[in-house]
Each structure stands twice: as structure tokens, then as C-alpha cells.
Structure 1
């Protein structure tokens, strides 16, 4: 058996062993595992429970206005008699779709832009980085607000997801560009390009597998940021438009009655906090699993701060 055959056969085994090691490290982090389980439960409940409810999010019960949580309306009702549970679950669906969708689309754009810039260099690198610098300077909130009147109707969720993703990929693209530049000089990348492999083939077969750990962590952490972005836009009236709802629009609508009728506000706010917190904790756990050195570095930094204090 030649050396090449040994390397080719050993590579999948090494990759499988590393995946198992990363998985074991992640499972040892009880906080991150709990956060991941909670996030999955929230996702399942948001999309399955509405099918078993007696009320839709648009249904109105005129005999039960501003009712506190009870046996008929588990989360209470609004000023119009709408079921808070049904509205909260509908808002959860929209926020989760927008959050996960924007994070995944943003990661895809960042991967393509950063990899192409890092691998090709030259004018391609300058043009892509010029676009990145331009988008970083442009106030994203104002740009999204300009398109807000067009987000009414069935296309609102798709357009809002694309807008959030379109203004959230630049920092990741810069990091991926740096990683791609370091991979560009590696022997396997140079060999692939020498054999005539296209840029797309090099990206999919060599660059992406080697930066997969960063992509997983970055996408997970981006979910919380995308959900917060959607919430802020909907809170100010630039996101999901009535009669549809999201967590942000529910919080914005009932924030004034948070103290007098807390059940109209606290469930949407609680789910928002849970989603963002669980996504961030899960991302931290994945980062520690892929790079244990980062956890030790943070621990040493924390000890130094305590000593200085």
C-alpha cells in the first residue's frame, strides 16, 4: 500500500474521530446541552402546539377580554379578546423562521464572499472587501426601514429575512477571508488548483471542511443576533406587519400594559430571552468543544481580572 493510499484512507477516520471528540466535549458541557434541549423544545412546541389549540391567533373571544391565565385561555387574553398563547406561538414561529433563516443565509453569503476573496486575491479581493467596507458603513437599520412599507403581505417574512441576512454577513466574511488566505498556501489547495480544480470545487471540498467549526459556531451565535434584530424592527413597526405577529410586535404592542396586565407582555418577552440566551450558550459550548484552548484562555483572563480587582 502506497503512502497516498494510507493518507486517503486515514483522513476519513481522523475526521470521524475528531467529530466524536467534539461531540463528547459538547456533551460534557451541561449548560450548553440544556440550552440546546430547551431551544429544540421551544422550536417543536412553536410549530406543533398551535394545531391542538381551540383558538387561532386571529380569533377573538368578545366574552373574555383582558382575562388573566385560566383553564380556557392558558396565557390569558388581550384587550380585544385574542388568545395570548396562540399569538405567542405565532410570534415564536415568525421569530424562529426569521432568526434561523437570516443566520443560515448570512453564513452562506459570508462563506462565498470570504472564500472567493481569500483564494483569488487581486482585484476580486479588493472588490469584495470594498463592498464589505461599504456595507459596514451604511446604517443597516435605516436601509431596512426604507423597505419596511414593502414588507406587508405574504412576502414580508422572506423579505425581512433577506434584509437582515444581507446586512449581517460582513464581519464573518472578513474572518473567513483571513482563514481562506491561510489555507491558500497549503499543499492540498495548491495541488487542487494545479490540477485544474475550479474555485467553487476548492471552496466546497477544501475550504468549507476546514472552516466548518467556525461556520457552525458563528451561525449558532448569529441566530440570537438575528432574532434580536427582527424583534427591534418589529417593536418599532418596521418588521412583521399586522395582522401577522412576531415576538417583537407583541412586545411593542403590549409593553405599555406590562405592569397592569403583565400576561399580555411577559410570555413573549420570556420566550425572546430564552431563545437568545439558549442560542448564545449553545454557541459558547460549541466553541469550547471545537477549541478547548479558548476556554482555558478565558478562564485565565477571568483569574487575572479577579487578581487585579
Structure 2
């Protein structure tokens, strides 16, 4: 309760997750269902958030999009952080050519604009799974460099030197002694990567490079509702509102994990 920002972010994130998975059961409409008597209708008792021009229930479609964006964000954050943790820790501990190879690879990935890489790879990265894999491969370099720098400072600690003298292999030292001491860094980075992944997925889907019809995400709903936002606001405002709340929740949780609240408040 003393960590108000962290608590607020995690609570809001939990509520959004509950809405994404439990909310569809509160209505009889599915996200693929079509009401042939209501095309482009405003919110009503029957359709709480109105309907799309194709007759689909906007409430069910929006929650489906929220669930898709949330899952992609969590999967991308987990994958990118895990890849960065393993490669960065091994490169920082071993040094030599693994370290140079990591620096060369991350520098190469950081040179090219991520959106350009995503646009080029979009023909093979189809659907939610392809988008998640693509974003995981684009978001890990910065974290890997941070893990490498932290590992280089830890590899000279007494417990690491003792394990090395006892003949422990490098992978065991990294797994047992280095990565456990980087949990706070990795946890905060994974949380912030979730927000970055959600924004990236929404942007890619908005321009047609991410999730594609018939599936939906918050980005595809924004793309569909932008042109008619002033005429049919119920097509645009719900996905915008949920995207803002989702990013706010992730930001509050992530910044709350970056360090002790007392130090941040004094800063």
C-alpha cells in the first residue's frame, strides 16, 4: 500500500485483463457475430457500445481487440526480455568474441529503423503470432546491452569468482549467480517493454503490417474508426480509451518497479 504508483498500475492492469477475458461473457454477442437489424447503430440497450457498419457488436469486438493487444504485449515483453537476459549475460560474463558479436549484432539492429524492418518482414509475419515474433526480435537489443553492462560489473564479485574457481561452467554461473541478481532490472524492463510492444503492435496494425482481418486489435480498430470518428464516435472512442488506459497501467507499474519510491520522490 505504500507503493501507490505500483499498486495503481498493477490494479488497473488486472482490471483490464479481467475485462478482456470475462467481459465478453456479460453479453450474448460474440465478436464475430452480426446483427442484421443493426448496421452502424449508436450505443443502445441491445448493443452497449453500438455496432460497426457491418453489424458487429462494438463491445464484443473492442474487448477482443483489447485481449489481442494485451496478449501480444505480454508475449513480446517476455520473449524480448528473456532473449536479452540470456545473450546479454553470457556476452558480459564471457567477454571476447561473444561480447563483440553481441555488440556488432545490436548495433546492426539499431541502425535500421524498426518500422522499416517490420514493413519489409510483414509478408511473412502474418497474424498475432508473427507480429509477436517480429517485435520480440526488434525490442531485445537495448535490454541486452543494459544486461551486458550490469553483468560486467557483477562478474568480479567474490561469489562469482569462487564459483569459477570451483569449476562451475559459465552457463551455471550465469543462471545461478548473475541472472538472479538482475531480476529487478529485468522485471522493470519487461514491464516497460510491454507498453512499447503494445504501441508498436498498434502502430503496425494501424498501417496494415500487424494483425490483419478478420482478426482485430486496438490498432486495427483505430484504423477502421479514424475516418468516421466525428460521424460514428463509438467506433473510435472505445479503442482509444482502452489503449490509453492500458498504456497508463503499464507505465505506472513499470515506473513503480524502477527503484525505491523514496529515492524517486526525493529525486
Please classify the TM superposition score into its range, dividing by the shorter chain length.
Answer: over 0.9
CA distance in 2 between counterparts of 1:160 and 1:79 reads 27
Deviation digits for residues 4-45 of structure 1, max 9, x if unmatched?
xxxxxxxxxxxxxxxxxxxxxxx3132331221111011011
Map residues 133-148 of structure 1 onto 2, 5 A cutoff: 133-148=107-122
1:118 Cα deviation after fit: 0.7
Match of 2:22 among 45, 48, 51: 48
Which residue matches 1:61?
35
1:292 Cα deviation after fit: 4.0
Which residue matches 1:224?
195
Which residue matches 1:74?
48
Contact 1:183–1:207, Cα closer than 8 Å, also in 2: yes
Contact 1:288–1:295, Cα closer than 8 Å, also in 2: no
TM-score by length of 1: 0.83
Which residue matches 1:127?
101
TM-score by length of 2: 0.96
Secondary structure of 1:248's counterpart equals helix
CA distance in 2 between counterparts of 1:128 and 1:247 reads 34
Q: Which moved more, 1:195-204 or 1:165-174?
A: 195-204
Distance 1:248 1:218, change over 3 A: same
Deviation digits for residues 38-79 of structure 1, max 9, x if unmatched?
110110110122234311112111211121111111111111
Bigger radius of gyration: 1
User: Any gaps of 5 or more consecutive residues in structure 2?
Assistant: none
Which residue matches 1:92?
66
Deviation digits for residues 277-300 of structure 1, max 9, x if unmatched?
1101111112233x7434422xxx
Match of 2:235 among 249, 264, 284: 264
CA distance in 2 between counterparts of 1:66 and 1:41 reads 29
CA distance in 2 between counterparts of 1:38 and 1:55 reads 25
Contact 2:8–2:252, Cα closer than 8 Å, also in 1: no
Which residue matches 1:8?
none
Secondary structure of 1:64's counterpart equals coil
User: Any gaps of 5 or more consecutive residues in structure 1?
Assistant: 1-26, 298-309
Match of 2:168 among 197, 205, 208: 197
CA distance in 1 between counterparts of 2:61 and 2:38 reads 15
Contact 1:151–1:241, Cα closer than 8 Å, also in 2: no
Contact 2:49–2:234, Cα closer than 8 Å, also in 1: yes
Deviation digits for residues 140-181 of structure 1, max 9, x if unmatched?
2122222222344xxx21111011010001111111111000
Q: Number of residue pairs matched?
A: 267
Contact 1:288–1:294, Cα closer than 8 Å, also in 2: yes
Q: Which has the higher contact order (CA 8 A, sep 6+)?
A: 2
CA RMSD after TM alignment: 1.3
